[in-house]
Every structure is written in structure tokens, then in C-alpha cells.
Amino acid sequence: MSVTIDDVRQAHARIRPYVHNTPVMTSERLDELAGARLVFKCEHMQKAGAFKTRGAVNAVFGLEQEVARAGVATHSSGNHGAALARAAMMRGIPAWIIVPGNAKRVKKEAIRAYGGEIVECESTLAAREEILKRVLGETGAHFVPPYDDDRIIAGQGTAALELLEDAPDLDAVITPVGGGGLLAGSAIVGAAMDVDVFGAEPEMADDAARSFRSGQRVTHHVPQTIADGLQTTLGERNFAIIREMAADILLVSEQEIVNAMRLIWTRLKQVVEPSAAVTLAVVMRYRARFAGRRLGLILTGGNLDVEQLPL
């Protein structure tokens, strides 16, 4: 495998000074409702508001000084952009973030707040690739992809590592899957510690589930889900790891995601993104499968426009 448990442990040692070891949270009422014992890993309280901080810090602080000097660049409509800008700021290097013109205001503000340079582009893949090439050419910046990258995968895996340190008796870990950085990193940790790792995905963005079942990575699809952090295509490296190491990828409807988000808001009193609620939605839908088990769920992020709540 391209990424091993040792890479995840090394990433953990590297990022530790720059990220939160986020708390875990439980709720007796949610356990009753779910018919299982749930432990939530609070990555919505992570620096920059999402687990993406882990991979970005690992990638940026893993660079040789002569490479790092020119800065880093990425494309992202979501949390990876802000996370990379923050990691670059902490290392004292510039960051260029290519963002589609229609990206959410709150995400762009976060990038700017961390000193990132926003480069707007049209929201097609071709436009993005072209602008990225131009930025890399003009600046000499190093490209840090949002998920299809060994350093990112190892970094994201550290969340599951901490979760299993705090709750070593878990039967399974469930994470959302978009590009597959978090799921792949978690699956590596799960394989090393003999814990099943499941992916949770919206039906309206089911490329990872279809790829997992067919053994062929689905690359053409048009995702449309309120879990906007998961509207990405499963990465190649990510797929290879997930296919070998994940237990399954389970699908949920938009309504199930909204219901789960509401439970997290009203029972845990935590502000999370819709993407973060997909894991609880899976637990509620596949009750028989998870009945009585001890489950770790990663609450991936808490960045949303409070004016546009899908509740």
C-alpha cells in the first residue's frame, strides 16, 4: 500500500503542535435512539473548522525547505482551501487557493482570514486545471491536492488514530466519503488496529459506493447533495486503499442527512456541516447492522452559512 500505519503515526507526530487533539463526545439519548453506543470525534472543533487541517499541515510541514519557500497552491471550494492557507501561514510561506466563483462566502472569508491568496475561476474542471497550471508556473508554488495524495491521506488518518486512543473499545469507525482522504486514512488505521471502517455517502453523490461495489472507479458523475463537502470524485490512490481496506460504503438519502443533522444539533448541541451528519444518518438507517455495537463517528466539519441552514 502506498500509505502505511507508520506514515499515519509519523504524520501525527508532525502535525501535533499545529492541530487540536479534538475531544470526543457521547449522548445517552442518541445512544437510545440509535440502538448503539456512539462516540463522536469532534473535528468540527478542529483548527480552521474541519479535519482537513490535519492533511494540509502534514503536507506543508513535510516539505523540504527549498520546496516550501515558493509557497503552496491548491484548488478547493471547501475546507481544504482554508486548511492549506492556515498551514502555509503557520510555516510562513504563501498559499494560492483556486476557488470557483460560486463558492460559499464563508469559505472564501476563511481563506482570506488565514492570509491565503484567492484565485477565482469558472466552476468547470477544465478551467480549474488551466488556472492551476498557470498559478504553479508563475509562482513556482508546490501543488497540494485536496485528497488524492499520500501525505493528505496519512494526515487525515490521524483523526481515527486519536479517536481510537480515546475510545479503544470501538467495534467500528464510520466516516463520510467524498474524495476519500479521510476514509482511506481511517481504513489504514482500522486495518492496523482490527477495527472495521465504513464509509458513509449521500445517495445523490454515490460514486464511491458504486466504485467500491464494481471494483471500477467511477469518474463521470454529477453529484447534487446538501452535503456539499462530499460533492467530489473519489481519488485514485484513495480508491485503491478503500477498496482493499474499508468494510463497506453505505448510502443515505438527503432527508436522512437532514434528520441526522437535526439530531446532532438538538441532542449533542453541536453545529456541524451537513457532510458531517452523513455518518449518523448511516447508523440510523442501517440499525440492524449496527445494533448494540460501539461505533466511532467522525464529525468532520462545522463550517456553514448560518443564514442558509438546510433544516
With H, G, I as helix, E, B as strand and everything else as coil, classify residue 124. coil
Question: Per rule CB under 8 A, is residue 259 in the interface with its own copies?
Answer: no
User: Which residue among 21, 266, 287, 291 contacts its own copies (CB under 8 A)?
Assistant: 266
Q: How far is the CB of 302 from its own copies (least distance, A)?
A: 4
For its own copies, what does the binding mask look like between residues 208 and 247, x meaning CB under 8 A?
A: ----------------------------------------
Task: Name the DSSP class of 239.
Answer: H
Using CB under 8 A as the binding rule, whether residue 126 contacts its own copies is answered as no
One of 85, 226, 272, 281 touching its own copies (CB under 8 A): 272
Q: Which stretch binds its own copies (CB under 8 A): 53-61, 127-135, 136-144, 265-273?
A: 265-273
Task: State in angstroms the smallest separation of the CB of 44 from its own copies.
Answer: 5
142 contributes a contact to its own copies by CB under 8 A: no
Among 45, 111, 209, 245, binds its own copies (CB under 8 A): 45
Nearer to its own copies, 70 or 106 (CB): 106
Task: Confirm or reject binding of residue 49 to its own copies (CB under 8 A).
Answer: yes
Q: Which of 62, 71, 235, 302 binds its own copies (CB under 8 A)?
A: 302
Output b/e per residue, 199-238; b: 16+ Cβ within 10 A: bbbbebbbbbbbbbeeeebbeebebebbbbbbbbbbbebb
| Residues 7-12: contacts with CB under 8 Å, at least 24 apart | 7/150, 7/154, 7/157, 7/188, 8/154, 8/157, 8/158, 8/161, 8/185, 8/188, 8/189, 9/161, 10/154, 11/54, 11/58, 11/62, 11/151, 11/154, 11/155, 11/157, 11/158, 12/158, 12/161, 12/162
